[in-house]
Amino acid sequence: MAETRRVTAGPATYVLRAFVIAYLVLLVAWPVVLVGTNTFENGTTAITEVFSDPDMVHALRLSAVAAVVATAVNTVFGVTISMLLVRKQFPGKRVLSALIDLPLSVSPIVVGLALMLVYGGRNGWLGPTIEGWGLQVVFATPGIVLATAFVSLPLVIREVVPVLHELGTEQEQAAQSLGASGWQTFWRITLPSIKWAVIYGVVLTLARSLGEFGAVKVVSGNVLGETRTATLAVEEKYLNFDQEGAYAVAFLLASVSVLAILVVFVLRARGTRHRAFERQS
């Protein structure tokens, strides 16, 4: 990332370096690579089997739909809340700013339980009313979307808020003094400047949403071919001694996450270069 400042390398540097590399290889890199090798033990048959099973295709599609809807909602919500938190004053702002982070630290099982208590069709707080309108939330796709949106809620905000702070208001004020409306200022000035932070947040949200497991397990009902998502299918396959199938689906999910990290990594490197350039000029 930033240029390395210390060049003098004593023995402590090498010990520390070796420790960090060994730790990361044993904890993350090696296990992740094993999933790949386990998947392709018998060539590509495991993967092709997943795609030829209509229930698995349904599970993958359900995961993708829930992730895309949750990400879209969280992006609009995230950018709006970030703008309000950084640019506006209103009562309760500090409390809101703290509460926004709450979904990151709540157990996914608690998330599922909380959604059941409110949207459960039998005795939830709002569930029976909403079902009266003909919309089933829990044990159906809307519940899966809600659970997914809950757990990934703060990710866009956490990326956009620091960038908005750093950006300052000079350009926005200039635009407004030249007669631009609030909307025009947002679309033409603010949004292009926070573009990369938003994309970065969207990629993280998408990766996190696609992989949600605990909360979805509670609210989905886990019905094969109906409300079973890809992550639930991994558990189901593994527990039913279909290890190859479990590894294959896990490999697909892991590939998407690694791809997401790569995208973010490239974007972040680009952002750092951009900022370093601005500092120089």
Asked if 116 is part of the footprint of another protein (rule: CB under 8 A), the reply reads yes
Closest CA to 231 of 242, 240, 215: 215
Nearer to another protein by Cβ, of 112 and 121: the residue is 112
Find tokens 């420790």 and name the residue: 19
Nearer to another protein by Cβ, of 50 and 204: the residue is 204
Q: How many helices (H) and strands (E) does the chain have?
A: 16, 0
Asked if 276 is part of the footprint of another protein (rule: CB under 8 A), the reply reads no
Q: Report the residue from 168, 265, 270, 276 that binds another protein according to the rule CB under 8 A.
A: 265
Tell me the closest approach of the beta carbon of residue 119 to another protein, in angstroms: 8
Q: How many residues make up the chain in this entry?
A: 281
Which region among 53-61, 187-195, 209-217, 220-228 touches another protein (by CB under 8 A)? 209-217
Instruction: Kindly report the number of other CB atoms within 10 A of residue 280's CB atom.
Output: 6
Q: What is the DSSP letter of 2?
A: P
Q: How far is CA 62 from CA 116, 153, 268, in A?
A: 20, 19, 30
Asked if 189 is part of the footprint of another protein (rule: CB under 8 A), the reply reads no
Q: Report the residue from 168, 258, 274, 275 that binds another protein according to the rule CB under 8 A.
A: 258
Closest CA to 79 of 154, 173, 184: 154
Q: Report the residue from 84, 167, 180, 267 that binds another protein according to the rule CB under 8 A.
A: 84
Which region among 45-53, 54-62, 187-195, 246-254 touches another protein (by CB under 8 A)? 246-254
Q: Binding string, 7-26, against another protein, x = CB under 8 A?
A: x-xx-xx--xx-xxx-xx-x
**Residues within window 38-77 making contact with another protein, judged by CB under 8 A:** 38, 73, 77
Are 40 and 46 contacting, i.e. CB atoms less than 8 angstroms apart? yes
CA atoms within 13 A on the CB side of 81: 23
Nearer to another protein by Cβ, of 58 and 111: the residue is 111
Asked if 135 is part of the footprint of another protein (rule: CB under 8 A), the reply reads no
Asked if 187 is part of the footprint of another protein (rule: CB under 8 A), the reply reads no
DSSP 55-75: HHHHHHHHHHHHHHHHHHHHH
